[in-house]
Amino acid sequence: MEGKLIVISGFSGVGKGTVIHRLMEENEGFAFSISCTTRYRREGEVDGRDYFFLSQEAFEDGIERGRFLEYARYSGNYYGTPAQYVFNQMKKGIHIVLDIEYQGAFQVKEKYPDAVMLFLIPPSARVLVERLVNRGTETREQIRSRLAQALTEADQAEQYDGILVNDRLEQTLKEILRVVEDPKCAAEFRKQNAGLVQEIKKDLNGILKTW
């Protein structure tokens, strides 16, 4: 049987990276799709492990050659999923996990309606801000841009199959596995958490006013 496509989106700083890392580590039969990007490499990131870091020219060449399953611009940079790797893994029956933003997520859903689309949110706006500040990889101005972006992304959350609160890692992992097993239960998680998305939006608006 073909592997499934699992799309995981969520605000910058919500902890997608950690969740996905643990999902791979603890479960066989999953593979992470390493994206291409034109953004600068953060300290600690490794080319070919976290991303394939490309120049703008190389990325645009990839677009022309149809090498991306999806791609989008985000915070002034290109991000895209190399198609070949995804197809190869799925053919082998391996579930493939994409950590991508919403424009790319919707492109994937259009091509693959069976893709499982999950949106991760933090337990509160305050926790999100703390995580971004503590990560220490962005300037204050870059954090502002990420928070403003989070507001736009929050409007898209309800179009995902499921919305999951990434508060306790173990719980988040359990919920992801449940949805992969039975995609229909994603809607339950969406309904449960849609209210929290609105609350976070309101709080983010307030935080940005005085940032």
Q: How many residues bind ligand 5GP (CB under 6 A)?
A: 16
| Binding flag, residue 12, ligand 5GP (CB under 6 A) | yes
Q: Which is nearer to ligand 5GP, 77 or 188 (CB)?
A: 77
| Binding flag, residue 106, ligand 5GP (CB under 6 A) | no
Q: Which is nearer to ligand 5GP, 21 or 191 (CB)?
A: 21
Residue nearest to ligand 5GP (CB): 104
Identify residues 41-60 at the interface with ligand 5GP (CB under 6 A). Answer: none
Q: Is residue 44 helix, strand or coil?
A: coil
Using the CB atoms, write b or e for 43-53: b if 16+ within 10 Å: eeeeeeebbbb
Minimum separation from the CB atom of position 1 to ligand 5GP (A): 25
**DSSP line for 114-158:** T-EEEEEE-S-HHHHHHHHHHH--S-HHHHHHHHHHHHHHHTTGG
Burial of 31: CB neighbours in 10 Å, binned 0-12, 13-18, 19+:
middle
Minimum separation from the CB atom of position 8 to ligand 5GP (A): 8
Of positions 97, 100, 118, 163, contacts ligand 5GP by CB under 6 A: 100
Rounded Cα gap, residues 91 and 86, in angstroms: 9
Which residues are at the interface with ligand 5GP (CB under 6 A)?
Answer: 9, 12, 35, 39, 70-72, 74, 79-81, 99-101, 103-104
